[in-house]
Amino acid sequence: MTALDDKINERFPGLVVRKDLVNAVKGNAIVPSYVLEFLLGQYCATNDESSIQSGIETVKEILRKHYVHRNEAGLIRSNIREKGRWKVIDKISVDLNTDKDAYEATFANLGIKKVIIDSDTVKAHPKLLVSGVWCIADVEYEHSEDKNVEPWILGSIKPIQLSKFDYEAFLGARAGFTTDEWIDLLFQTVGFDPEMFGRRSKLLQLMRLVPFVERNYNLIELGPKGTGKSHIFSEFSPHGILISGGEVTVPKLFVNNSSGKIGLVGYWDVVAFDEFAGRQKRVDKALVDIMKNYMANKSFSRGVETLGAEASMVFVGNTKHNVPYMLKHTDLFEELPEKYYDSAFIDRLHTYVPGWEIDVIRGEMFASGYGFVVDYLAEILRHMRNNDYSNRYQALFTLSSDISTRDRDGVNKTFSGMMKLLFPADNATEAEVEEILHLAVEGRKRVKDQLLRIDSTYPETDFSFTARDGRKVVVKTLEQAEYPQYYNKRAPTHDEPVPEGVKEGGDGPVLGGVKKSAETNGGLVGASEGHKVFSENQKGVTYADLFWPWLKGATNIVITDPYIRMFHQVRNLMEFIEMIAVRKAPEDEVAVRLVTRPDEVSSEKQHANLVAVESACTAAGIKFSWEFDGTNTIHARHIVSDTGWKISLDRGLDIYQKFEMNDAFSLANRLQAYRPVKAFEVTYLKTNGPLT
């Protein structure tokens, strides 16, 4: 176990579970993760390996005996008849039979209906009346000669969710974690390995939890397939429901005016629409109109009566095109169904999570460490919906007066939700508050900037905030920094149509939608002194653009980097040499010397890798050599050459996030421009001194 896993078990004993156990026990049981973790939390909430293995076998046995597979429903019904009573795990829904004035339960997998359930149970668990709840239930069988009497009797029922928790103990335990540790704990809780993702990627994925902790929060995430957009909303919490976008009707979502029955928004904390995107999808305009009113005013009408609800709305869907294509030709909402492609609907979204920044999920990305039993965290998040942290930045930062009330609401709700997730005790530092506020402003700006493309009546907005010391922070979206030549497209006004034949955007070839510009390169053009700052998840960054203009013509290059030890670091070095090899003249020879520190753990492997680099360089006319720093004191990373330039690198050559290096068909493996980078900075200095 890692040191973090030890701390998690120490601070939250009995409330955490090893996340890889879910797949170990799931088998072919088609149940949400929170159902399995509820059981694992009963028997495997420990770090003792023997107890875990024993608990796994117990949970497997419970599932084997009591989870109802639909193809074995007849066998379970027979068990109930023969034994008189049997415990089952099934999804149970309840309807009111007005003819009998009685509530009747339906078991989804067991296939039995009209099971009488008492009204007190229904009142205690009203979600039984809407879409159903996973439960552990005792079902009895008692045959009657009366054909109007069903033989099935509900002995007891227990919805699968935590019955109680200690919020003050939760806050006390949170105090024992650093911010990075807490982010990693939450990230492991949702099922992913934090070592595989950068900080921004983690925060973007944790934004998916904001609807669970913030009332009436409207979030959209569009992006490529396979990035886990819908996972949290289907597997994470018993208080959220994921429905297909095509299955939605006004009665199902809001209210049935004929029966008066309230829909999903009256019972669930989060209603998420899966597969929401698709221009050709048929949508009821009346539903969209009611949705817009609900998203803006938190209310809907039942006849002449106005009803309120607290459900947050989430819309997730896939995009067909990459970001630069959308920015050049349409906008980032191009895949919305036609009836939803409406500025009034879009303006009611509080944030837009950029799904294209989140990697397609691969097997090695899943967590094997400890995280909260999800129903425990789900209850904590639900409890925190009562709190409001939206003003917690106001003593430190002031939003631009240019930001409208609706924009400000979007920023405030996102900020409040992220603060509750990361700093439930309200103890963030000024720098941490700024980071969360920046993310909140960016999410709303992404919505508003696309509205400027769709509707010419929306004004330009200065999305910025000012610190106490007068420092102004201008917020840009990452795609704005990456593709400035396409980003600032605006909707034509009625009196200023776009002339025919005018080509919008840049005027050169674009590699995979990645085109360089002065802005992308920190304002530097050619080999000149200056400073470049790159944001996490930014793409289109290559060694050739970073280094070659300053190294062109060099015959002697010295790389100082104490961290050329592990395989991926040596591979980075090899790609740097490859950049030189394909750009220098074939007849030229270049000497490249590396100054690094020895790997105290795997020195033989480090030496063998460097020998392999040296051997490969010979055929390209590159004389590679290396030396280990005997003082063991070097820390700064830089590149100097006899062209008179020094390039200072805060991360050295290790600028790229992890990618699948064994996948021969991955563009990220073959081309640097397709890899997201870590946050890093580069400084270029003109020198006339020796190569040191």
- Quick check: 635 and 595 in contact, CB under 8 A? no
Identity at 471, one-letter amino acid code? R
Task: Using the predicted structure, report yes or no on whether residue 424 has a pLDDT greater than 50.
Answer: yes
Q: What is the average per-residue pLDDT within 497-522?
A: 39
Q: How far is CA 69 from CA 107, 217, 237, 620, in A?
A: 12, 36, 22, 63
Q: How confident is the model at residue 637 (pLDDT cuts 50, 70, 90)?
A: very high
Q: Is the pTM of this model over 0.95?
A: no
Q: What pLDDT does 220 receive?
A: 98
Q: What is the average per-residue pLDDT within 547-574?
A: 95
Q: What pLDDT does 425 receive?
A: 95
Q: Please indicate whether residue 279 or residue 57 has the higher confidence score (pLDDT).
A: 57
**CB under 8 A, 24+ apart: contacts of 190-193:** 190/231, 190/232, 190/236, 190/371, 191/19, 191/22, 191/33, 191/231, 191/366, 191/367, 191/371, 192/228, 192/365, 192/366, 192/367, 193/364, 193/365, 193/366, 193/367, 193/368, 193/369
Length of the chain equals 692
Q: Give the list of residues 6+ apart from residue 614 with CB closer than 8 angstroms, or none.
A: 624, 625, 626
Task: Using the predicted structure, report yes or no on whether residue 232 has a pLDDT greater than 70.
Answer: yes
Tokens read off for 539: 């793409």
Q: What is the average per-residue pLDDT within 385-410?
A: 96
Q: How confident is the model at residue 562 (pLDDT cuts 50, 70, 90)?
A: very high
Tokens read off for 503: 């080509």
Q: How far is CA 12 from CA 7, 37, 189, 219, 524, in A?
A: 8, 15, 13, 31, 50
- Residue 383: how many other CB atoms lie within 10 Å: 15
- Quick check: 264 and 130 in contact, CB under 8 A? yes
Place of tokens 């009256």: 266
536 CB-side CA count, 13 A: 16
Task: Using the predicted structure, report yes or no on whether residue 569 has a pLDDT greater than 60.
Answer: yes
Q: What pLDDT does 525 receive?
A: 52
Task: Using the predicted structure, report yes or no on whether residue 611 has a pLDDT greater than 60.
Answer: yes
Q: What is the average per-residue pLDDT within 471-486?
A: 94
- Residue 466: how many other CB atoms lie within 10 Å: 14
Task: Using the predicted structure, report yes or no on whether residue 508 has a pLDDT greater than 70.
Answer: no
> What confidence tens digit (pLDDT) does each residue in 73-96 have?
999 999 999 999 999 999 999 999
Q: What pLDDT does 537 receive?
A: 93
DSSP 111: T
Report percent pLDDT > 90 for the chain. Answer: 66
> What confidence tens digit (pLDDT) does each residue in 11-39 have?
999 899 999 888 788 776 777 788 888 88
Report percent pLDDT > 70 for the chain. Answer: 93
Identity at 291, one-letter amino acid code? M
Q: What pLDDT does 493 receive?
A: 63
Task: Using the predicted structure, report yes or no on whether residue 663 has a pLDDT greater than 60.
Answer: yes
- Residue 64: how many other CB atoms lie within 10 Å: 11
Q: What pLDDT does 673 receive?
A: 94
